[in-house]
Structure 1
């Protein structure tokens, strides 16, 4: 609408609804993909995604980073914006806006030593229930994006510890994609891409044949982060 039209129609009003940031925070524990859920401030004590409203002087990305720092306690995470979601306001007839993000954090000492919070819980992706409609839509969308992105880039390694076995990598992809993968084909493809370095260490105190540990080839990972890979399993 042009400024001239606004002057002619002084009744024009603009929405002042606050924008909410909702973060789907993924973690890979014990071969299970988990999501961080937070107890919501309602009478029912329901659980939902980690979220907050943008405060005066804050940016969209700044609010998302603050949410991660609040619940994770450190800055070592992958964070990417999804899109804006519109949903009915519970208190008015206006539509409210939420901007969704998804994040990936690895299971390491920082996460294990995080301050205990009874209002935060990691839940297996297949065990989540009772989310409100808005959070369910954002979670479903983030899963689709995660599945799409791990098949065209090397971001899946963000969920792994510093040292890992190739079997752990395979289980990660199987869990996220919901498929069974041929072990020998997967191993060959990962090694051919040069995504990992042999850490010259093996598992200890295991009842099966000790597997080698690997680390991410950071140089190759950074180079491939900007190329579209083709993980066909």
Structure 2
């Protein structure tokens, strides 16, 4: 080998490509509580930990396709909201270099079938955001950042409706915003503001078999939702 080749080899050896991890914060809104999906993982010492849903980018995959595959693996559906957060750096366990994690947050809707399937999957748990403990520093940082982004974006866009069923009551929408923002909202002002936006439409259905006054069901006005998706809204209540 010529000296030039040896020098090139030495230079190239300085650039070690570390694996890139994709970490997904998967949110859902269930029983008036914002919850996050945690997955049971076993570390190299055999200890059991609960972590965010994650995977490494495999050969032939992209950052985006890996994130989507994580959602499909744990949710089994293609209907979800998924958005990239940013790249996070953290100390590597296997080298002197810094490892990289790219964070995403997702919002999914779940029905009764999903709840029943969870019972038979001991490696997955949905837990309220105020009840999470024991996460690694890396995943806690990603979770905290995703919550900050969710609270910011839910006040300037209609992304929050990705957490609601196809038909919902105005009270469900209000409780969703109260839970995510951690505030108490004036019911009359909220109702007036939401209806003025024409973002939702009456489904001509009401609750059945309830002990209180039956509330109307609404659905998202898809045409208006698409139009408003390209402009910043004001959801400060």
Separation in 2, partners of 1:137, 1:112: 28
Q: What residue number does 1:3 align with?
A: none
SS at match of 1:232: coil
* Structure 1 residue 96 displacement after superposition: 0.2
1:44 aligns with 2:47: yes
Separation in 2, partners of 1:78, 1:114: 21
Match among 81, 84, 97 for residue 81 of structure 1: 84
Mind listing any 5+ residue stretches in structure 2 that lack a counterpart? none
1:217 aligns with 2:221: yes
Any conservation in 2 of the 1:25–1:35 contact (CA below 8 Å)? yes
Q: Deviations over 1:89-120 (max 9, x none)?
A: 12222110000000000122563454631100
Any conservation in 2 of the 1:74–1:110 contact (CA below 8 Å)? no
Match among 98, 105, 108 for residue 111 of structure 2: 108
- Superposition TM-score, scaled by structure 2 size: 0.92
Q: What residue number does 1:60 align with?
A: 63
Separation in 1, partners of 2:93, 2:9: 28
1:229 aligns with 2:228: no
Match among 137, 161, 164 for residue 165 of structure 2: 161
For structure 1, which segment, 188-197 or 101-110, has the greater mean C-alpha deviation from structure 2 after superposition?
101-110
Q: What residue number does 2:30 align with?
A: 29
Aligned length: 229
Match among 203, 207, 211 for residue 207 of structure 1: 211
Any conservation in 2 of the 1:79–1:103 contact (CA below 8 Å)? yes
- Superposition TM-score, scaled by structure 1 size: 0.94
Q: Deviations over 1:167-207 (max 9, x none)?
A: 00000000000000000000000000001110111111111
Alpha-carbon spacing, 1:7–1:147, altered in 2? closer, same or farther (3 Å): farther
Q: What residue number does 1:11 align with?
A: 10
Separation in 2, partners of 1:231, 1:7: 61
Runs of 4+ in 1 over 6 A off after TM superposition: 6-9
Any conservation in 2 of the 1:35–1:124 contact (CA below 8 Å)? yes
For structure 1, which segment, 182-191 or 109-118, has the greater mean C-alpha deviation from structure 2 after superposition?
109-118
Separation in 1, partners of 2:122, 2:42: 13
